[in-house]
Chains A and B, each alone.
Chain A
Amino acid sequence: MVDTSKTSAHMTDPAGASSDALVVSDLSCVRGERELFSGVSFAVPSGCILLVTGPNGSGKSSLLRILAGLLDATAGSYRPPERGTFTRPVGYLGHANSIKIRLTVRENLRFWARLARAEPAVEPILQRVGLGRFMDLPAGWLSAGQLRRLALSQLMIADSRLWLLDEPAANLDSGGESVLQKELARHRSAGGCAVVTSPTDIEMTDARRFELAGQ
């Protein structure tokens, strides 16, 4: 249990304390003077996708950054799932793509594969996201949508149990969106889970939904 607050009361576990679920209880986030959200509680068991929607500025990205451990919550607590059969517990696709335009597509992905200590072949993953033909191009030559696909492949190669995706469909064409849907389906059938943010309610089969109201 990662307890990010000194004041938080003992938590009630909505998922029945199973260790393969992401459990969030009573999380709140204050940025500057403004309270983005408070009292956020949910659970995402394995094989489940949670779609977080809400208007711009409602704290969707901050929520994901807290869950990724990049930002401290003001109050409340969360517990990421155990890694189980995966290499890592948590993977994060932020809203910046984390791509070096001076490296080739293949070099970009190979670096993150090395960091994740997952050394599966880089090529099949690039084929899966539709970048097979561009492997040896500098990433700076890619379009915005192709960069997003490359960012998605960085998440895929890290083999994490919980995927945190911040507006993953941004800049993606319909082909890219279907790649995203397919990879999410594949991930959940492997026992993974995901939290996906979106400013609008996007179509996503069998996803749970959570709305941040915004204040």
Chain B
Amino acid sequence: MTFFRAVVERDLKLYMRGVVDLIGVWMFFGIAIAMLPLSIGPDPDILSRIAPGAAWAIALLASMLSLERVFAPDQLDGSLDLLLLHAPSPHVLVLAKSFAHWLVTGLPFVVLAPVAAIALGMEVRGVLPLAGALLIGTPALSLIGTLGAALTAPLRRGGILAALIVLPQTIPVLIFGTAAVSETLMGRDPGAHFSVLGAFTLAALALAPYAGNAALRAVRS
């Protein structure tokens, strides 16, 4: 636990010292949302109907933007060697890295996405389900994203490749995350969708540490 906390705190400090990069990620989200009415047209019916899905898809893409900051800097300066040497097990390191990534990319979208969705004209009763779905689903994005980050750790500009590897695995999150919100808006019970979303995140939590460890071992040997 000491190790987990120490790594998360250090990573947060490092993310904050390079906060310009992060602001870029958060602004990408805001700007992409702002682009929608320009490309799709200002029809409030269409915009409010696509708002939950747009918020989800853009949150997903934005969280992929910062993957090359998860492992690659530590691999480059040798810290990853020492982190692995000190880790009680490599799985804890993968979890700590995912958690720190989620705190700076997943959690902000839980706050930002409902605001953006209202800006697109989504009904207010969809706000809490959207925030809730993001809260449940985005940890899975960071966990799976960390796997892509591990696979591309030794590459100079591995971010895009990491995103390409990871995006197909995140489709279930996107589908059930969006459905949970749309079902609520259509007045139906979204419980099943929330359950599947939660199950997916739990599965990612259980499997990602092993996959991440295997990926690190494979690319670093």
> A95 CA to B86 CA in the complex, in Å?
17
Whether the pair B79, A98 counts as a contact (CB closer than 8 A) is yes
Chain A residue at minimum C-beta to C-beta distance from B18: A102
A164 to chain B, nearest CB (A): 10
From B14, B81, B82, residue with most partner A Cβ within 10 Å: B82
Whether the pair A72, B221 counts as a contact (CB closer than 8 A) is yes
Give the size range of B's interface with the partner.
20 to 34
Whether the pair A115, B77 counts as a contact (CB closer than 8 A) is no
> A13 CA to B37 CA in the complex, in Å?
75
What B residues does A107 contact at CB under 8 A?
13
Whether the pair B77, A154 counts as a contact (CB closer than 8 A) is no
Interface assignment of B78: CB less than 8 Å from any CB of chain A:
yes
Chain A residue at minimum C-beta to C-beta distance from B17: A102
Chain A contact residues, majority secondary structure: loop
Interface assignment of A132: CB less than 8 Å from any CB of chain B:
no
A100/B79 contact (C-beta < 8 A), A69-B85, A71-B221, A115-B6 known: yes
Mask for A98-112, Cβ within 8 A of B = 1, else 0?
A: 111011000100011
A100/B77 contact (C-beta < 8 A), A92-B85, A107-B13 known: yes
B215 to chain A, nearest CB (A): 15
Chain B residue at minimum C-beta to C-beta distance from A117: B2
What B residues does A95 contact at CB under 8 A?
78
> A78 CA to B55 CA in the complex, in Å?
54
List B61-92 residues whose CB lies under 8 Å from chain A: 76-79, 81-86
Interface assignment of A116: CB less than 8 Å from any CB of chain B:
yes
Interface assignment of B157: CB less than 8 Å from any CB of chain A:
no
Partner of A103, one of B2, B7, B14: B14
> A92 CA to B220 CA in the complex, in Å?
17
Interface assignment of A96: CB less than 8 Å from any CB of chain B:
yes
> A96 CA to B76 CA in the complex, in Å?
8
B173 to chain A, nearest CB (A): 32
Mask for B1-25, Cβ within 8 A of A = 1, else 0?
A: 0110011001001100110000000
Whether the pair B82, A92 counts as a contact (CB closer than 8 A) is yes
What A residues does B82 contact at CB under 8 A?
92, 94, 98, 112, 115, 154
Interface assignment of A114: CB less than 8 Å from any CB of chain B:
yes
Interface assignment of A97: CB less than 8 Å from any CB of chain B:
yes
Whether the pair A103, B85 counts as a contact (CB closer than 8 A) is no
Interface assignment of A202: CB less than 8 Å from any CB of chain B:
no
List B1-55 residues whose CB lies under 8 Å from chain A: 2-3, 6-7, 10, 13-14, 17-18
> A72 CA to B79 CA in the complex, in Å?
19
Whether the pair A115, B14 counts as a contact (CB closer than 8 A) is no
Supply 5 further A-B pairs (C-beta < 8 A) apart from A94-B78, A98-B82: A96-B76, A98-B78, A100-B14, A102-B14, A111-B6
On A, residues with C-beta under 8 Å from B are 65, 68-72, 90-92, 94-100, 102-103, 107, 111-112, 114-117, 154, 158
Which 4 pairs between the two chains have the least Cβ-Cβ distance?
A96-B78, A102-B17, A115-B86, A98-B78
10 A-B pairs in the complex with CB atoms less than 8 angstroms apart: A65-B81, A70-B81, A72-B221, A98-B78, A98-B82, A102-B17, A112-B86, A114-B6, A117-B2, A158-B86
